[in-house]
Structure 1
Amino acid sequence: MKKTLLAVCFGGATLLSPLAMAEDSFPRLETIGVGEVTAQPDMAMFTVAVEETRKSAQEAKQAVDKAVTAFMDRLQKSGVKRADIESANIYLHPQYHRSNDNPPELVGYQATRQVTVMVRELDKLNTYLDNALGDGINHIQNIELKVSDAEKYQEQARQAAIKDAQSKAKSLAKGFDTDIEGVWNIRYFDSMPRPVMARMAMDASIETKATYQDAEITFRDRVEVVFRLEK
């Protein structure tokens, strides 16, 4: 894990926020603190789908149901809890053959079902994806990498942002031969880490494991603080 603190400096009238200027005048200083923490993912959520086309709607449904059932059974036998598996409803679409001279001709039905899986042991992700292929799943729609203790890293980023705001305020006050008397106002906006999406083909090789195991998730936070200066 590594931390990076980013400094933001203001010039002229931008040091005074509109909220601060609306109150009785007194010496003040406004800073923005930004904290950043990176962590390696240890979980993942992936969504796969099976899509089949058959002459009848019933045949198409049976084909996708068979693949989804086999995949879900294999996941549970591998230790994945049922609560970590979500199977979406089936979607059926009629398929038509169209030509310029004739009306559309119904040629079959396309059925689609999705399965979303929460993987709590990242080193097993590649195995689950290989199993999906073997069970008839024919689409990997997305893989989102996650961190199990995300709240801990977000709190570290928040504390880094607070220290950043304090450090800049102390530095600026010292540069202008004054001292900070206390905090007058704090503004805070919730920050959420951006999801890390991994790309993988259905025939992914062993070497592909490193592409998500070596990835990093960045947690950022920000705080705006108005400090009261000594008169």
Structure 2
Amino acid sequence: MTMRSTMLLLAPAVLGVAAPALAQTAPTILPDATVLEVSAEGRTTRVPDVATIRAGVVTQGQTAAAALSENATRMTRVLAALKQAGVAQRDIRTASVALSPQYRYAENQPPAVTGYQASNSVSIRFRDVAKSGAILDALVAQGANQIDGPSLSLDQPDAALDEARANAVKIARARAELYAKAAGLSVARIVTISENGANDGSNPQPPIYAMARAMKASESTPIAAGETQVSVSVSVRFLLK
């Protein structure tokens, strides 16, 4: 677990509306009071338990109908392979369907249509990250020729986010006490807490495109979960005395 804090501001308070607080409206502060504002970030780590990967089929045909027909046949096998592997229907979502003409370009001539390309891809959530590589290999065997991902994330990030929030406030409090002591003051209480942003552990990876390969390999494609970082940034205003 690592944490850090950023942006410190020491200034006299002025009358007006304070930054939005998470729990309640900020109380009134006397004009001559001294307020310290600290922006801090709390972090924690978790092992991702969900991998999202997009897999699909790209086909070519002399006509639009031929390209779509071949694509539909192969995509049906891909979806059947997912079902057979135990992937729940709720974890399979169509990501894109496209059909486009293919052109031949020649100097001083208009583009000529040479055929059509059809594509269909699905977004798949793997709740057992360790098994996702073997399932991808099965999809390739059934006709999938385009894969990108994975994007690793947490299925239930709330507990990790709350831990990061608590860490952020703890860091802000420690920094406030340090600055108050350096200024010959002490921390009286917290005036407001505002959350500035959060990362729930989603960790999209650069796309990795894999075309169909020879299925002679004895080992499945490895997918390593590693660790993902959950973080929350807060701004805390302290009343000093």
Superposition TM-score tier, normalisation by shorter sequence: 0.7 to 0.9
Counterpart of 1:209, as a letter, is: P
SS in 1 for 2:197: coil
Match of 1:131 in 2: 138
Match of 2:27 in 1: none
Deviation sequence 1:93-123 (CA, Å, 0-9, x none): 1122232254433221111111110111111
- Higher relative helix content: 1
RMSD across aligned positions (CA): 2.4
Q: CA deviation at 1:15?
A: 1.6
Match of 1:8 in 2: 6
The answer to whether the 8 Å contact 1:196/1:217 transfers is: no
The answer to whether the 8 Å contact 1:122/1:213 transfers is: yes
Q: 63-72 or 99-108: which moved more?
A: 99-108
Task: With the length of structure 1 as denominator, give the TM-score of the two structures.
Answer: 0.84
Percent of aligned pairs with the same amino acid: 25
**Aligned mates of 2:196, 2:33 — CA distance in 1:** 26
**Aligned mates of 1:169, 1:102 — CA distance in 2:** 72
Q: Which of the numbers 216, 222, 229 marks the counterpart of 1:209?
A: 222
Q: CA deviation at 1:157?
A: 0.7
Match of 1:80 in 2: 87
Give the direction of change, closer, same or farther, for the CA distance of 1:219–1:88 in structure 2 (3 Å limit).
closer
Q: CA deviation at 1:45?
A: 0.5
SS in 1 for 2:116: strand
Give the direction of change, closer, same or farther, for the CA distance of 1:208–1:77 in structure 2 (3 Å limit).
closer
Q: 171-180 or 195-204: which moved more?
A: 195-204
Task: With the length of structure 2 as denominator, give the TM-score of the two structures.
Answer: 0.81
Give the direction of change, closer, same or farther, for the CA distance of 1:167–1:9 in structure 2 (3 Å limit).
same
Match of 2:20 in 1: none
Q: Give the total of aligned pairs.
A: 221
The answer to whether the 8 Å contact 1:200/1:208 transfers is: no
**Aligned mates of 1:129, 1:169 — CA distance in 2:** 51
Match of 2:150 in 1: 143
**Aligned mates of 2:146, 2:2 — CA distance in 1:** 38
Structure 1 residue ranges without an equivalent (≥5): none
